[in-house]
């Protein structure tokens, strides 16, 4: 599968997970970085980085950021800075969650990378969820 197709499939997994596990209709606004979407319904820029999925709770002060990374892209400097920005942003809300979709074989790497970034940015309190069994 080409890189872009892998990324697209991972983003779809994020959206699917959010739709199955979060009460979007009642109290959420779901924004997805999808080329087919209008610019106004895309996730906001966070310190210059655009997440793949952004879910803002309306009643609860909660934000979920979903980010998909291919194995190739996971450890790049860009990804590290981007993930650090997201984690710092999520610290500012009552319930911040970072949802991560990576191919199954790099899940341990993604976990250790994000734990390290959390230590560096003092954002250990941000909840992280890693999707499992994804192709790529």
Choice from 39, 77, 94, 133 touching other proteins (CB under 8 A): 77
For residue 107, the SS3 value is helix
Q: How far apart are CA 72 and CA 25, in angstroms?
A: 35
Which x/- pattern, by CB under 8 A, does the window 32-71 give for other proteins?
Answer: ---x------------------------------------
- Distance of alpha carbon 32 from the chain centroid: 10
Which x/- pattern, by CB under 8 A, does the window 83-102 give for other proteins?
Answer: --------------------
Number of shown-chain residues binding other proteins (CB under 8 A): 16
Q: How far apart are CA 114 and CA 124, in angstroms?
A: 10
**Residue closer to other proteins, measured from CB, 34 or 93:** 34
Choice from 37, 76, 122, 127 touching other proteins (CB under 8 A): 76
Tokens of 54: 């952004």
CB of 4 to other proteins, least distance (A): 9
CB of 50 to other proteins, least distance (A): 12
Q: How far apart are CA 114 and CA 46, in angstroms?
A: 17
Q: What is the Cα Rg of the chain in Å? A: 14
């Amino acid at each position: 599968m080409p890189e872009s197709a892998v990324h697209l499939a991972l983003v779809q997994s994020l959206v699917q997970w959010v739709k199955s596990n979060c009460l979007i209709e009642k109290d959420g606004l779901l924004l997805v970085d999808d080329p087919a979407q209008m610019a106004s319904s895309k996730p906001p820029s966070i310190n210059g980085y655009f997440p793949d999925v952004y879910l803002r709770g309306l009643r609860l002060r909660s934000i979920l950021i979903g980010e998909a990374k291919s194995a190739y892209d996971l450890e790049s400097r860009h990804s590290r800075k981007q993930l650090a920005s997201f984690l710092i942003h999520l610290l500012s809300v009552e319930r911040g969650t970072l949802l991560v979709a990576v191919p199954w074989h790099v899940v341990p790497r993604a976990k250790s990378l994000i734990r390290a970034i959390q230590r560096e940015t003092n954002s250990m309190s941000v909840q992280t969820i890693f999707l499992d069994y994804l192709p790529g």
